[in-house]
Chain A
Amino acid sequence: MTTSIAPKAEYLKAQSLLGKRLNEKYGTDRKVEFDKLNEPVIWAKSPEDAKMLFRSFMLDESSKMDFLSDITAYDNKDREDGEKRFVLVYQQYSTTLHVRVRIKCLIDENEQALTLTDLFNGANWLEREVFDMFGISFKGHPNMRRILMDERFSGHPLRKEYPIKQREPFKDNIAFHLGANPMEIDTSITEGEEK
């Protein structure tokens, strides 16, 4: 296997150890794969299981996955990876061992994933982006709104059936609000001005 990774990189030892350990510990009833960089990919059984795995990798002394790299998803319309519509992908990273692990989870259109915002503040926007682009919503998320597209936008652009050249122009802007922390406007001061 030849890649861009420097052949004598120190983390490679930790990576192969981790792969073995994950296979022993979690691989009995879950599928553990290795990608083209030989990084472990573990398939969670359900969205709940994915969060459980995420948390246990985080707390596990031997893996020390203390960093959330990315949350994303991809369309599984051709059902090549399983019987559900989407695959949710979590990328975890360890700042001490410098290894990555990827948690994947099959999820259907009407299913809800569990939010990671209680573990990592950085998950907030990433989950909003997944919601915006794929329509997978997250249970317990404080501010489940679209992030890149307009809030009135219909459809989810990264689903395979969404046409590449579809446009949806809006004539006006919607009022900007402070999102998760709607402010309490004290109207007593401004009341005289409204007329």
Chain B
Amino acid sequence: MAAHVQDPHQLKDFYNPNVLINLGPSHPAMHGTLRVMCRVNGETIEDANCEIGYLHRAIEKLGEDKTYHQWMVYTDRLNYCSALNNNIAYAMAVENVMNITVTERCMYIRVMCMELSRIIDHIICVAINALDLGAMTVFWLLYHWREEAYTMIESMCGMRLTTTYARIGGMSYDIPDTLRQRLWKFCEELPKALDEVEGLLTSNRIWIDRTRGVGVVSREDALKYSITGPCLRASGVDHDLRRDRPYYIYPELDFDVVVGSNGDVYDRYLVRLEEMRQSVRILKQVNDKMPSGPLWVNDKRVQIPEKLDVYNKMEVLIHHFKIFMEGIDVPKGEAFTCVEGPNGELGFYVVSRGGPKAWRMRVKSPSFMLFQNFEASVKGGKIPDAVAHLGSVNIIAGELDR
């Protein structure tokens, strides 16, 4: 029986075309501290405005205050779902300013780490997106492999989430011997889990109804809003920095760039799923080809000495002390180094005027561009569509606000 309304004022919100609905900043579906104010007419979002800055920690200012070596830990806190990627991108940016090329073994380890963190990031995105829309099984299936990946990372550097694995000129530790076997098993088993996920979602009627045609970002919009990464590829732009501006050993590896066509939530999900398979392909090749040899570049400016020598030789002790207390002397110059991060083009613009601290440390984060576009592309949808859309673009607040 329909409730009888005594007071016509009770219906005012029902007829009001200007109802404000606040999403976030602290709500489980908002993926960190994101806030969107929506003006809804009925159920349709007619206008939206994003407010950011809730997680602003002045990381760029700290980049000018800490030495290059000290600032490494802050890169973990950018995109905390793929900390390895940020560490390596930052180390790469500083090495480029210093004109250092790392050793071949180091390159392989770095590529392995970057692909592993890409898989973790995509797992988080796909699993949480499905969880937001009510499909919890996907979360359980995939998070098992995320845990396994984190355990592998733990065996490499002793940390799970905030890794601080890379160093300027090398890596803090060499990889353990057990990793090869473990990674092999991971590469064998993860695609099976992905097949299962695909069986659960790709042709699932509910999933298709909730995602297809939702949160569409057209090809032109994606380019106008400077979107990069999987979301750009889902919109049909064939662009991947790993292939187009190859760094490290990517030209020697065999992988495909995944391109979608519609730019909706469904396509973004498909692109991410296939990219995980491509990353597994890369991991397999890297695991097979992993060369032996030195891990650290033979450059006295950056090379952190062996601990055993530090305790036994005076010159080495002084060298160690100089690196950690004074910092690395980076010559005058600048470079804008971008890598293909899990969310898109992650760039570090380092301006050095000599000395151990950067003059300007700019972090160009992909999430910033994605959230800017979210404001525009969420219009015309409904509130549940906004949640699906937000989950599929994988905006990380740490990277957004820096």
Which A residues are closer than 8 A to B by beta carbons? 1-6, 8-9, 11, 35-37, 39, 41, 66-70, 72, 74-75, 78, 80, 89, 91, 95, 98, 100, 102, 120-122, 124-126, 129, 133, 147-150, 157-158, 160, 162, 164, 176-179, 181, 183-186, 189-190, 192-193
CB of B260, distance to nearest CB on chain A (Å): 16
Contact of A4 among B22, B39, B64, B95 (CB under 8 A): B95
CA–CA, A1 and B335, complex, Å: 13
How many residues in B have their beta carbons less than 8 Å from beta carbons of A?
Answer: 66
Task: Let me know if B368 is at the binding interface, CB within 8 A.
Answer: yes
| Given A72-B360, A148-B401: 13 more A-B contacts, CB < 8 Å | A3-B95, A3-B100, A35-B336, A69-B336, A72-B349, A74-B351, A89-B349, A102-B336, A122-B369, A124-B372, A148-B56, A158-B64, A178-B37
Binary interface encoding of chain B residues 73-100 relative to chain A, with 1 for a CB under 8 A from any of its CBs, else 0: 0000000000000000000100111011
CB of A86, distance to nearest CB on chain B (Å): 11
Contact of B101 among A3, A68, A122, A179 (CB under 8 A): A3
Which B residues are closer than 8 A to A by beta carbons? 9, 12, 15-18, 22, 37, 39, 47, 49, 51-53, 56, 58, 60-62, 64-65, 92, 95-97, 99-102, 221, 223-227, 237, 239, 244-251, 333-338, 345, 347, 349, 351, 353, 359-360, 362, 364, 368-369, 372-373, 376, 401
CA–CA, A181 and B99, complex, Å: 47
CB of B77, distance to nearest CB on chain A (Å): 15
Residue with the greatest number of chain A CB neighbours at <10 A, chosen from B39, B96, B333, B336:
B336
| A4 lies within 8 A of B224 (CB) | no
Residue of A nearest to B96 (CB): A3
Please give, as numbers and ranges, the residues of chain B lying within 8 Å of A133 by CB-CB distance.
Answer: 60
Residue with the greatest number of chain B CB neighbours at <10 A, chosen from A8, A39, A122, A160:
A122
| B47 lies within 8 A of A1 (CB) | no
Q: Can you identify 8 A-B contacts, CB atoms within 8 angstroms? A: A4-B337, A9-B245, A36-B333, A41-B334, A68-B226, A95-B223, A125-B368, A186-B16
Please give, as numbers and ranges, the residues of chain A lying within 8 Å of B39 by CB-CB distance.
Answer: 178, 183
Please give, as numbers and ranges, the residues of chain A lying within 8 Å of B15 by CB-CB distance.
Answer: 189
CB of A184, distance to nearest CB on chain B (Å): 8
Contact of A120 among B18, B58, B226, B335 (CB under 8 A): B226
Please give, as numbers and ranges, the residues of chain A lying within 8 Å of B345 by CB-CB distance.
Answer: 69
| A70 lies within 8 A of B362 (CB) | yes
Residue of B nearest to A180 (CB): B49
CB contact under 8 A between A176 and B22, given known A3-B96, A89-B349, A158-B61: yes
